[in-house]
Amino acid sequence: MGAEWQAERQAGRKAGAPPPYRRRRILVLSGLISVLLAAALGAGALVAWIPALVPEFGTGAGTPTPAATPPPSATPTATPSAVPAPEQPAPSVPPDPIAVPLFDRAARSLDDPASLWVVVDKTRPLNPVGYAPTDLVDVPVPHVWSPQLRREASDATVALFAAFAAETGLQLQSQSAYRSFATQVTVYDADVAANGQAFADTSTARPGTSEHQTGLAIDISALPGNCSLDVCFGDTVQGQWLAGNARRFGFLLRYPADKVAITGYAYEPWHFRYIGTELATEMHATGTTTLEEFFGLPAAPGYR
């Protein structure tokens, strides 16, 4: 058997046929391939598997083929679902700008003597010169001389005096309020007689040019009296409180110490002019301390 098997092997080599042991391997592998083929057809991976399982198949020379890429899984791999981006709020539409009404400086007359904003100074006498308010009332506050003011100014004075008493525990009193044209003649003449006209013109208005004649001005002092009608009143508790708070009630310190060249009068920390809370608030907000400057009027350092 050995010699015959060797002769048969030699004959096979000469004829180019595969040796018997290879024929047996091929038969076995062919059967295996048939089984695998049936199983792999459903997965579509026959081409990729055959070279990996049978290196010599189809080569005829037994040369191994490169390793094939593993077959893809029949079940597709699920990719992680993307995390949804956070929902962005719709851009908000900016609201329409709110129109802030500008202060109307022409809302009231500066010339009409019955106007709360009338400007009276050395160059702007009352017209008519003998004007007298029609709504004067007695002002129910402590006083030296019984005061009268126009009704609106009187109500504001009462509120101011009450607020001062509540906030400080002290008292105020009225020195002087409304003066008629005739009364102003008497006051001015007395000042001229006592101090000369040049001095009188710095402290007392000539008849027809006094704010007291409008029924909107009041001279205030401490109760009991302390520095009454004197510049030192500005250093008292009463004077300092009035300077900082009179605007809350619609009053203006009419003759500031640093505006003598504008108003024509020396510093009078006791003299307050009612102009209403609207104008007083606006003047404070703009840092303006005289009516002449606020309304763009000429300075009035002296009479024409």
Catalytic sites, residue numbers: 268
* CA pair distance 285, 262, nearest whole angstrom: 20
Contacts of 259 by beta carbon, 8 Å cutoff, 6+ apart: 289, 290, 293
Assess contact for 62 and 90: CB atoms under 8 A: no
Separation of alpha carbons 131 and 180, rounded Å: 8
Chain centre to alpha carbon of residue 291 = 29
Number of other CB atoms surrounding residue 272 within 10 Å: 28
> Is the separation of the CB atoms in 212 and 176 below 8 Å?
yes
Tracing tokens 């606020």 back to the chain, one arrives at 294
Closest CA to 209 of 141, 264, 290, 154: 264
Both structure tokens of 9:
């092997």
